[in-house]
């Protein structure tokens, strides 16, 4: 039976991987933490280099949110190590998070090889929560570098959403309608709908929001 690709809401597939920080078992070694696994097409390429510097620059911010970072490509671990050295020597940035050296198994399991984009991995991003559940999946083409401030925003939003059981508006925390406020889940019965407009700021009973 052909294995289906993981989807949002699925448990992250179990795998043992070789990284620049030794072997890791995923998602088991990350249990109790959030983690972001992100693939890149190849070491020693300009866009990927800018991305790794961008993630490293935000690593402390992610760690404050109980979040680990894991890079990945189908380069050998020796290439990863040499590339890390080059980044340190030439850009004065030390990459502290592990990078998976994939033989193709991880890429195939996670759907990172897209036929129309060659044989390298696309720029994929997986957000995984402390219960090992996949919460978001993003794919980017090789020619488009990612927005790493958006990943910080997403992680903050997930954690606020989980803590307060609310939803986040577009561009949160700078939404055009309600600013940094959050959205209350719509009522599912008449009685609750009638109460909502009295309990919360709102545009209508189905669009209520509050400050947290």
Residues assigned a catalytic role:
48
- Between CA 66 and CA 34 the distance in angstroms is 6
Q: The sheet that has 22-26: what strands, in order across it? A: 22-26, 15-19, 99-101, 67-73, 34-39, 123-128, 134-140
Of the candidates 118, 115, 126, the one whose C-alpha atom is nearest the C-alpha of residue 143 is: 118
């Amino acid at each position: 039976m052909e294995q289906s690709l993981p989807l949002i809401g699925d448990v992250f597939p179990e795998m043992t991987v070789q990284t620049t920080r030794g072997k890791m078992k995923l998602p088991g070694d990350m249990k109790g933490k959030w983690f972001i696994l992100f693939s890149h097409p190849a070491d020693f390429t300009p866009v990927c280099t800018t991305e790794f510097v961008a993630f490293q620059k935000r690593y402390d911010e992610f760690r404050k949110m109980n979040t680990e970072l894991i890079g990945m490509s189908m380069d050998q671990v020796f290439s990863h190590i040499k590339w890390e050295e080059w980044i340190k020597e030439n850009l004065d940035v030390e990459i502290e998070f592990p990078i998976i050296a994939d033989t193709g198994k991880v890429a195939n399991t996670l759907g990172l090889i897209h036929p129309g984009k060659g044989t390298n991995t696309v720029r994929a991003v997986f957000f995984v929560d402390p219960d090992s559940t996949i919460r978001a999946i993003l794919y980017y083409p090789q020619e488009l570098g990612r927005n790493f401030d958006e990943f910080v925003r997403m992680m903050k939003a997930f954690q606020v959403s989980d803590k307060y059981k609310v939803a986040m508006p577009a561009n949160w925390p700078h939404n055009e309608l309600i600013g940094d406020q959050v959205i209350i889940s719509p009522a599912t019965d008449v009685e609750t709908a009638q109460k909502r407009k009295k309990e919360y700021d709102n545009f209508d009973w189905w669009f209520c929001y509050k400050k947290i």
